[in-house]
Amino acid sequence: MSDLRVLVFAAHPDDEVLGMGGTIALHTSRGDEVRIVCVTDGSSTQYPGDADTRARKKEEARRAATELGVLDYVHLDLPDMRLDTVPHVEVNKVVEEHVRDFLPRQVYTPQPDVNLDHRALFDSVVVATRPTPEQHVRRLLTYAPTSSTEWTPASLNWFVPNWFVDVTATLERKLAAFAHYETERRPYPHPRSERAIRAAAELYGASSGCEYAEPFVLVRSLEPG
């Protein structure tokens, strides 16, 4: 059993699978302890007043996490697509609670892209993982949720990955996990389709010397002395 604790933040259910499902599966296969925290309800804006769809999306998220080997899945209820309307200090509080409780060594969060929820979450994760002497987190990375990061104008924020993970062994698990998100799947050529997800992994794999890869930005890392 590995002693690495990995905390994955998502703004919406499916961010984590689309952006780094293969990497999550690698962590769990190595015995790393992984917690996924989805901070918004993931439904209230897209399906206002629809309690059934909200419950369905939560169940889809849990099944997807289980497919990746994660049983510690936390789904919070901050407002979907309105995270930027929540006071920054309140989002900080939610994020900091999980960093203090779980004591991760490695943290992932969505790239601050065209989606304002991703930006608000990133800002709070940076606060919660700031490199103070007592900080437990040693590595912080951002991942790129499909159909968000690649839609971001270059003038706003350009995703330039400098960290790649070979997910050749776990890509099929990523695709199986995303298959649980029936409310989010779209036909090709939409980025949230199996063919597009596979094509993106193939592109990043060819860019980094393997068959399939997932891209990240390494924000900060403190290596052992």
| Count of Cβ atoms closer than 10 Å to residue 60 Cβ | 22
**pLDDT value of position 108:** 99
Mean pLDDT calculated for residue range 77-102 = 96
CA distance 162 to 156: 19
Looking at 115-216, list the stretches that DSSP marks H as alpha helix, in order from N- to C-terminal side.
116-128, 171-179, 194-208
**pLDDT value of position 154:** 76
**What global pTM score does this model have?**
0.95
Mean pLDDT calculated for residue range 22-41 = 97
Q: Kindly report, residue by residue over 7-16, the tens digit of the pLDDT.
A: 999 999 999 9
**pLDDT value of position 129:** 98
**pLDDT value of position 102:** 98
Q: Kindly report, residue by residue over 165-218, the tens digit of the pLDDT.
A: 999 999 999 999 999 999 889 999 999 999 999 999 999 999 999 999 999 999
Does the domain at 5-221 match CATH 3.40.50.10320? Answer given as yes
Determine the residue type at 71: L
Both ends of the chain: CA-CA distance in Å? 24
| Residue 78's pLDDT band (cuts 50, 70, 90) | very high
**pLDDT value of position 150:** 86
CA distance 118 to 132: 24
**pLDDT value of position 42:** 83
Mean pLDDT calculated for residue range 21-47 = 92
pLDDT for 2 beyond 80: no
